[in-house]
Amino acid sequence: MRTDPRHPSPTPLTAVRNLGVLAHVDAGKTTVTERILYLTGAVHKRGEVHDGTTVTDFDAQERDRGITIFAAAVSCVWDGHRVNLIDTPGHVDFSDEVTRSLRVLDGAVAVFDAVAGVEPQSEAVWREADRHGVPRIAFVNKMDRAGADLDAAVASIRERLAVVPLVVQLPIGREDGFTGVVDLLRMRALVWGEGRDGYEEAPVPEELRDEAARRRALLEEAVAELHPAALEEFCARSALRADTLAAALRDLTRDGGGVVVLCGAAYRDRGVEPLLEAVVAYLPSPRDVPPVRGAWGGAVEERAADPAAPFAALAFKVQSTATGRLTYLRVYSGTLRKGDSVLDAGGRRTERIGRILRVQADRHAETEQAVAGDIVAVVGLRSARAGTTLCAPRAPLVLEPPGAAEPVVSVAVEARRAPDAERLAVALARLAEEDPSLVVRSHPETGQTLLSGMGELHLEVAVEKVRRAHGLEVAVGRPRVSYRETVVRGVSGLVYRHVKQDGGAGQFAHVVLDVEPLEVPPGSTGGFAFRSVVTGGRVPQEFVRAVEAGCRDALAEGPLGGHPVTGLRVTLTDGATHSKDSSETAFRAAGRFGLREALRSAGLALLEPVAQVTVTVPDDAVGGVLGDLAARRGRVTGSTARAGTTVVAATVPLAELFGYATRLRGRTQGRGTFTARPSGLAPVPAGVSDRLLAR
């Protein structure tokens, strides 16, 4: 049970829903979130993305650009249920924000465009939700648009996401004439009118009764095939009662057996109330999800969502504000009170909770405590980062943190005025603290400060944030992608002897190495494998581990251009030791220098990051766009015609996509759009590789 300061009656855990809104950019998820807040009374005026007045897109850059950049948490009440909701970004450059949010959510609403169906980033976030085991329901939005087609959108969900869509509504009217839906569970019509809040319930229109009955039968058959209890009733009655159907849909949603699909037009306030009803009916509460698993001292422990259990929470977001440093927490077990001392389990240090805040995007309401199942922000933590576990000092536990994506694009940044250099370093460090997918490092040769991230827009937003938040004038170099080197022709039997004698104890290590390419799936970022086949104890096991560590040291810079090396297997085949001078330090040095020498003798190739690009263009501009993609070394993998436009799918080197948005707008008179998502590494063609290495 918990008490909310604005709603004093306690809310049981079974009446809590922690969910995210997921979608491709421009599918309408922020508008869906805004309408949910309006309908639940959390806000008293509808905000619009195009006006920059939405609650969750509160950052100045989000309002300027008209897209969601930062995950924003809000809370509302619907039908006696507390709904904690996170509006996530839809642009691929900010997918790490989505990943961190999914780590702490119990359910999600996936929003799809009724015209476009499943788009590339929709598919990417869906797969990420699969990986985290987050149950979802689907909302097909923009049913009032020209070309909107629920059946086509559902078909794309079935084909591209490989799930069973369970459509529980039939639209009333098409495109601009979309006025409502038929609820197939209760066989009733829900109709919305212009300028009127809420829907009116009515009988199913005469002209849709046969189609509604047919679709209800298809829904019952699909559910009966997936749910044993529903199958038993279906076999006995040749039909399913509404309560049986609802219970089966809830079970299938929570175990991933099927996906409930609803439809609407959020901008025109149509379809949002049934969506909220579905959230409450089908998505799980904190009580319904498995206990969280953690470890301490080698032992694995589970913690259920129980306010009386020992406290455990995961920090998933850090934000600097004018009022202090906020750390966003998902409380998994126990109770957290203002003034409590908690253990940072990773850093093994104690922190004190200054304040606990209920978050409404950029507004906060202070509360005295948070319990299992809550998503809150706290003030007072100095060292916690995204992924930090906070727990009761007497019951330590480390929860699995969300993974951080590897940056693929870098820019050089420097202060325009020399006195600002130190301030810039502090600002960049704070930026990387808030966003783990940003990495700040110094170039080993030039000494330049490099900022690395997930894409051109990601870095552009980060630099602009430094300028606005800290008032710094920053010079930015041209973006550069992160190349890799890999082995294409191995070398066998390379002998390396590390001998060093400077007085006193010396260093001696003798190793024999084989280096060969490592077979990895297409598009993978490669990897590194090490093994030892030395027999007879010629190299003790502790020295074998030192050789592996030395080899890993050597991977940092390859001989072609100083790029990291990946995609290779190293085998230690033989070696020798000295009774006095051999040590782990000596064998680590032998592994490092030996592998460097082996790489100089092996055949290496340059790898570059590539992206899956989806370009949507008018039919009359397809030829020019295809030619431009070819000039950018793009490889077209498919195209689809769709209502006067063509959707082209291609694989393009990431380095060739800088500035592509401007070029595409010019070739299509502003009518073309594209999305790109990283898809691994690919070999650089020989001629291009020579030019890159000659720079």
> How many other C-beta atoms can be found within 10 angstroms of the C-beta atom of residue 176?
12
Tell me the HSE value of 456 on the side-chain side, using a 13 A CA sphere. 16
Q: What is the per-residue pLDDT for 3? A: 40
Contact, 87 vs 68, CB < 8 A? yes
The region of weakest confidence among 233-242, 301-310, 589-598, 657-666 is 657-666
Q: What is the per-residue pLDDT for 570? A: 96
Contact, 68 vs 90, CB < 8 A? yes
Binding residues, as ranges, are 23-30, 87-91, 141-144
Report d(CA 657, CA 22) in Å as an integer. Answer: 25
Report d(CA 548, CA 328) in Å as an integer. Answer: 39
366-381 mean pLDDT: 89
629-652 mean pLDDT: 87
The band of 4, judged by pLDDT with boundaries at 50, 70 and 90, is very low
Strand spans (E) along 380-490 = 389-391, 398-399, 409-415, 439-442, 449-453, 474-476, 480-481, 484-489
Classified as helix, coil or strand, 102 is helix
Q: What is the per-residue pLDDT for 503? A: 63
Q: What is the per-residue pLDDT for 280? A: 95
Q: What is the per-residue pLDDT for 51? A: 58
234-248 mean pLDDT: 92
Q: What is the per-residue pLDDT for 6? A: 40
Q: What is the per-residue pLDDT for 218? A: 95
The band of 99, judged by pLDDT with boundaries at 50, 70 and 90, is confident
Q: What is the per-residue pLDDT for 479? A: 75
Predicted TM-score of the model (pTM): 0.75
Contact, 434 vs 320, CB < 8 A? yes
Arithmetic mean of pLDDT over the chain = 86
The band of 196, judged by pLDDT with boundaries at 50, 70 and 90, is low
Report d(CA 469, CA 497) in Å as an integer. Answer: 54
Label residue 133 exposed, middle or buried (CB < 10 Å: 0-12, 13-18, 19+).
exposed
Look at the chain and count its residues: 695
Report d(CA 202, CA 181) in Å as an integer. Answer: 10
38 has a pLDDT exceeding 60: yes
Q: Which helix (H) or strand (E) element contains residue 350? A: strand 349-352
> How many other C-beta atoms can be found within 10 angstroms of the C-beta atom of residue 153?
26
75-97 mean pLDDT: 84
572-581 mean pLDDT: 91
523 has a pLDDT exceeding 60: no
Q: What is the per-residue pLDDT for 446? A: 62
Q: What is the per-residue pLDDT for 137? A: 96
- In our burial notation (b when 16+ CB lie closer than 10 A, e otherwise), range 97-120 reads bbbbbbbbbbbbbbbbbbbbbbbb
If one compares 134 and 25, the residue with the highest pLDDT of the two is 134
117 has a pLDDT exceeding 50: yes
Residue type, 303: R
Query: Which range in 91-100, 419-428, 527-536, 592-601 is most confidently predicted, on average pLDDT?
Result: 592-601
If one compares 418 and 283, the residue with the highest pLDDT of the two is 283
Q: What is the per-residue pLDDT for 489? A: 93
Residue 386 per-residue DSSP state: T
327-334 mean pLDDT: 92
8 has a pLDDT exceeding 50: no
421-426 mean pLDDT: 88
Label residue 300 exposed, middle or buried (CB < 10 Å: 0-12, 13-18, 19+).
exposed
Binding residues for GTP, as ranges, are 23-30, 87-91, 141-144
166 has a pLDDT exceeding 60: yes
403 has a pLDDT exceeding 70: yes
Contact, 160 vs 131, CB < 8 A? no
1 has a pLDDT exceeding 50: no
The band of 478, judged by pLDDT with boundaries at 50, 70 and 90, is confident
668 has a pLDDT exceeding 60: yes
Q: What is the per-residue pLDDT for 688? A: 75
